[in-house]
């Protein structure tokens, strides 16, 4: 089930599913630890002796955010109960606390006795073993804890503070479903404490006047000790939860609108999605710098692992989007994180945890008994490429200085050494992590990295290094054209597979990743070979169903839906692959009319988003349902890149047109 409405502040991340149930709660890092393990946190409503869980089919749900903010606006209507409920969920912009403001409105014209019940099913620190839950009379709350992870559950309504009902007990032991079942009669048992595999359910009473409404605010606060959460609870009561919610709404509006970028030329839906994408990206970025690919624990059901890691390729391309959007603090934080993670040899391994440790991997260290580097070289290259993009915009010399040796010069020297006799990179895994060879995407990214390193070396007065890196990039660019271009098909190969004698065998599978030849390798978008490649990709990777969009490559097996009619459905449509086509049309546009050719691809993306604005990784080619993780940080980052480049390119074309007109009237 796709995740929706992520809310977070870089320390605490909370995800909902599309039935408005909390499913993931990560703390103290985005992506680690997940204290729910993806288990459902139930939310139920009792009204005048009738009860319904929010997952019941009779609810009408509308899940959105308030405009330009990470405060949700969820509307729930149940005709049988005669209630409409409006919820605003938010993680405070500074403190690790999740607030939920609830307004319950009567639709029957009668005074109502309403009780709301929240189920808290934690597996603290990622394990259900050894947890404790207890009612705390001092704060009138429920506290759950293990080791150095503590959680406090409390509420406030006007002058009244504390929870009204609670149940604490065992779960998933001896057939016990959990304490949430106790709520269905509107009463809870008030057991004071339980340990082991435990859960808790809390309840709140509301007297709702006829045709009127009543409101309360609940919260779950996080800390590393009982003192932490008690002091956090006191702080909330002192400041007032309403004030904390309002300040957070204002903060996020300021954050995403801080740059004086004129987005008016974008159609309204695209403009709104541009700001929403920035905010969703922010929820997936840890305050210590890691940019997580996705935080959707449902994916773990398919392989025992997840996407809550930092792939340096994804991180670099998201950092590029942050640079274009003016979010320099976050891009700096990522590059500092990268500097901590990079291997002493000068390259990145597969992926890293939010804390910067080497994460799980499926890349082997030996193949056929011979040692190989278990790397995707594009990850190392793109960090260097993105760092240059950052520096060109912000010119922050003091920031670059301590990174120069370890994150620029040393990786560039390693890339120069890790080449074959033709000047191309030696084999590594491709960006899709599925095949090993000399990949066109990797070659293009490496060219971009060596160009970037040459520019940095020039800036730092190292002309010898600059010449070496520049020559390496030029030789590699020429070798890419010579060895990876298939003149007969007028296309670049996806991969060159190195035979035993060192010769290349070309894999000519059409692959969207070949957009890299102009995005990173310095070939002009109007270059005849580039135009031929991009035209071929548009023709061969279009999903020819009512859903549309573009596949990764022909016969893509990952979450494959259609395996027979490959010409019609070469693979599932991906957001990033569709937007790469839009990006290309933006870059090659020579007139404002040509620039508008990109808009249908951007509109397609907006149409595929959830009502909240969340974008998945890919979609079902016949139903349009989200597939795999949601949200995917890379999807939102690519949307931001395309929007900013559309606006920049439009300004460039207008300026060129004005200059031409001026010249035409000169004597």
Residues counted in the chain: 667
The predicted pLDDT at position 1 comes to 66
b/e per residue 245-274 (b: at least 16 CB within 10 A): beebbebbbebbeeeeeebeebeeebebbb
Asked whether residue 127 is domain-assigned, the answer is yes
Maximal CA-CA distance, the chain: 93
DSSP 404: I
Instruction: Using alpha carbons, list the distances in angstroms from residue 109 to 58, 75, 86, 208, 249.
Output: 20, 19, 18, 10, 33
Q: In CATH, what number is assigned to the domain containing residue 138?
A: 2.70.98.10
pLDDT at 159 over 90: no
The predicted pLDDT at position 607 comes to 98
Asked whether residue 54 is domain-assigned, the answer is yes
The predicted pLDDT at position 173 comes to 76
The predicted pLDDT at position 413 comes to 98
Q: Which phi and psi angles does 399 have, rounded to 5°?
A: -70, -40
| pTM: predicted TM-score of the whole model, two decimal places | 0.96
Instruction: Using alpha carbons, list the distances in angstroms from residue 575 to 302, 601, 627.
Output: 21, 9, 11
Cα angle 347, 349, 352 (rounded to 5 degrees) comes to: 120
DSSP 407: I
What's the average model confidence in pLDDT over 414-432?
97
Distance CA 334, CA 386 (A): 11
Q: How confident is the model at residue 158 (pLDDT cuts 50, 70, 90)?
A: confident
pLDDT at 171 over 60: yes
Computed on alpha carbons and rounded to an integer, the radius of gyration of the chain in Å comes to 27
The predicted pLDDT at position 664 comes to 61
Q: Are 242 and 217 in contact (CB under 8 A)?
A: yes
In tens, the pLDDT along 262-289 reads 999 999 999 999 999 999 999 999 999 9
According to DSSP, the residues that pair with 648 across neighbouring strands are none
Burial label for 358, CB within 10 Å (0-12, 13-18, 19+), is middle
Q: Kindly provide the residue ranges of all beta strands, DSSP E only, lying in 54-130, ordered along the sequence.
A: 59-65, 72-78, 83-91, 97-106, 112-120
Asked whether residue 455 is domain-assigned, the answer is no
Tokens 């801080």 found at: 258
pLDDT at 218 over 80: yes
pLDDT at 326 over 80: yes
Judged by DSSP in three states, 79 sits in coil
**Of 214, 168, 233, 175, residue with least CA distance to 195:** 168
pLDDT at 662 over 60: yes
What's the average model confidence in pLDDT over 585-613?
97
In tens, the pLDDT along 232-266 reads 999 999 999 999 999 999 999 999 999 999 999 99
What's the average model confidence in pLDDT over 87-93?
98
The predicted pLDDT at position 655 comes to 87
pLDDT at 482 over 80: yes
In tens, the pLDDT along 621-644 reads 999 999 999 999 999 999 999 999
Q: Are 297 and 252 in contact (CB under 8 A)?
A: no
DSSP 86: E
Q: How confident is the model at residue 438 (pLDDT cuts 50, 70, 90)?
A: very high
Distance CA 667, CA 649 (A): 30
Rounded to the nearest 5 percent, the helix, strand and coil shares of the chain are: 40, 25, 35
Distance CA 247, CA 160 (A): 22
What's the average model confidence in pLDDT over 185-207?
95
Q: How confident is the model at residue 500 (pLDDT cuts 50, 70, 90)?
A: confident
Query: Quick check: bond before 329 cis, omega within 30?
Result: no
Region class of 76: left (phi > 0), else alpha (psi between -120 and 50), else beta = beta
The predicted pLDDT at position 659 comes to 74
For residue 572, how many other CB atoms are within 10 A of its CB? 26
The predicted pLDDT at position 501 comes to 86
pLDDT at 593 over 60: yes
Asked whether residue 482 is domain-assigned, the answer is no
Tokens 């960006």 found at: 431
Q: Are 278 and 613 in contact (CB under 8 A)?
A: no
Q: Are 472 and 416 in contact (CB under 8 A)?
A: yes
Cα angle 235, 207, 214 (rounded to 5 degrees) comes to: 60
For residue 482, how many other CB atoms are within 10 A of its CB? 11
**Of 7, 134, 120, 160, residue with least CA distance to 73:** 7
The predicted pLDDT at position 606 comes to 98
pLDDT at 138 over 90: yes
What's the average model confidence in pLDDT over 51-80?
97
Kindly state the tokens that stand for 188.
Answer: 């809870």
Q: Kindly provide the residue ranges of all beta strands, DSSP E only, lying in 423-501, ordered along the sequence.
A: 428-429, 436-439, 485-486, 491-492, 495-498
Instruction: Using alpha carbons, list the distances in angstroms from residue 589 to 267, 490, 654.
Output: 18, 22, 12
Distance CA 576, CA 299 (A): 19
**What total of structural domains would you count in the chain?**
1
Q: What percent of the chain has pLDDT over 70?
A: 98
Kindly state the tokens that stand for 582.
Answer: 């839009």
Asked whether residue 426 is domain-assigned, the answer is no
The predicted pLDDT at position 97 comes to 98
pLDDT at 666 over 60: no
Structural domain of 135: 3-255
Distance CA 310, CA 358 (A): 10
Query: What residues contact residue 521 under an 8 Å CB cut-off, 6+ apart?
Result: 443, 444, 445, 447, 448, 477, 480
DSSP 88: E
Asked whether residue 541 is domain-assigned, the answer is no
Kindly state the tokens that stand for 120.
Answer: 């808290």
* Arithmetic mean of pLDDT over the chain: 96
Asked whether residue 480 is domain-assigned, the answer is no
Q: How confident is the model at residue 352 (pLDDT cuts 50, 70, 90)?
A: very high
Asked whether residue 195 is domain-assigned, the answer is yes
Kindly state the tokens that stand for 201.
Answer: 């359910």
């Amino acid at each position: 089930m796709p995740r929706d409405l992520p809310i977070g502040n870089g320390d605490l991340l909370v995800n909902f599913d599309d039935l408005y149930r909390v499913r993931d709660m990560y703390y103290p890092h985005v992506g680690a630890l997940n204290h729910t393990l993806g288990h459902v946190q139930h939310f139920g409503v009792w009204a005048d002796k009738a009860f319904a869980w929010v997952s019941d089919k009779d609810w009408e749900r509308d899940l959105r955010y308030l405009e330009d903010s990470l405060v949700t606006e969820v509307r729930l209507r149940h005709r049988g109960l005669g209630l409409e409920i409006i919820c605003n969920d938010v993680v405070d912009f500074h403190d690790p606390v999740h607030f939920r403001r609830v307004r319950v409105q009567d639709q029957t014209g009668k005074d109502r006795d309403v009780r709301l019940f929240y189920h808290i099913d934690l597996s603290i620190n990622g394990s259900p073993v050894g947890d404790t839950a207890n009612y705390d009379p001092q704060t009138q709350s429920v506290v759950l804890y293990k080791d150095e992870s503590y959680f406090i559950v409390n509420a406030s309504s006007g002058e009244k503070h504390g929870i009204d009902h609670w149940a604490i007990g065992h779960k998933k032991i001896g057939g016990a479903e959990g304490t949430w079942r106790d709520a269905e009669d509107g009463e809870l048992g008030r057991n004071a404490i339980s340990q082991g595999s435990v859960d808790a359910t809390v309840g709140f009473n509301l007297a709702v006047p006829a045709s009127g409404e009543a409101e309360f605010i609940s919260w779950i606060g996080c800390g590393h000790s009982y003192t932490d959460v008690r002091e956090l609870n006191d702080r909330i009561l002192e400041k007032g939860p309403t004030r904390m919610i309002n300040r957070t709404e204002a903060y996020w509006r300021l954050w995403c609108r801080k740059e004086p970028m004129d987005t008016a030329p974008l159609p309204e839906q695209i403009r709104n999605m541009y700001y929403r994408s920035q905010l969703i990206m922010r929820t997936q970025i840890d305050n210590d710098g890691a940019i997580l690919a996705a935080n959707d624990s449902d994916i773990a059901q398919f392989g025992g692992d997840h996407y809550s890691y930092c792939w340096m390729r994804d991180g670099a391309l998201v950092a590029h989007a942050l640079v274009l959007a003016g979010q320099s603090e976050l891009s700096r934080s990522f590059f500092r994180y990268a500097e901590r993670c990079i291997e002493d040899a000068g390259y990145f391994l597969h992926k890293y945890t939010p804390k910067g440790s080497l994460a799980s991997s499926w890349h082997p260290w030996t193949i056929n008994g011979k040692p190989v580097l278990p790397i995707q070289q594009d990850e190392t290259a793109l960090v260097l490429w993105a760092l240059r993009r950052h520096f060109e915009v912000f010119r922050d010399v003091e920031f670059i200085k301590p990174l120069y040796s370890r994150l620029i010069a040393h990786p560039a020297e390693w890339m120069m050494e890790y080449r074959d006799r033709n000047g191309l990179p030696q084999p590594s895994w491709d960006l899709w992590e599925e095949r090993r060879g000399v990949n066109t995407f990797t070659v293009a990214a490496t060219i971009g990295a060596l160009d970037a390193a040459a520019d940095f070396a020039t800036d730092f007065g190292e002309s010898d290094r600059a010449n070496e890196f520049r020559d390496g990039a030029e030789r590699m660019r020429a070798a890419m054209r010579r060895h990876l271009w298939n003149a007969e098909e007028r296309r670049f190969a996806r991969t060159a597979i190195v035979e035993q004698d060192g010769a290349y065998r070309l894999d000519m599978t059409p692959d969207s990743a070949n957009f890299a030849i102009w995005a990173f390798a310095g070939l002009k978008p109007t270059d005849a070979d580039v135009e031929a490649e991009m035209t071929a990709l548009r023709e061969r990777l279009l999903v020819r169903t009512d859903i549309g969009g573009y596949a990764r490559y022909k016969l893509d097996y990952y979450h494959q839906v259609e395996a027979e009619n490959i010409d019609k459905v070469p693979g599932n449509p991906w957001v990033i692959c569709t937007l790469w086509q839009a990006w290309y049309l933006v870059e090659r546009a020579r007139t404002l009319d040509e620039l508008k050719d990109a808009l249908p691809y951007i509109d397609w993306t907006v149409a595929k988003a959830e009502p909240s604005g969340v974008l998945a990784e890919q979609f079902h080619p016949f139903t349009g349902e989200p597939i795999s993780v949601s949200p995917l940080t890379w999807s939102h980052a690519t949307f931001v890149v395309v929007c900013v480049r559309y606006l920049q390119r439009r300004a460039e074309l207008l300026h060129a047109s004005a200059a031409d007109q001026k010249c035409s009237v000169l004597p």
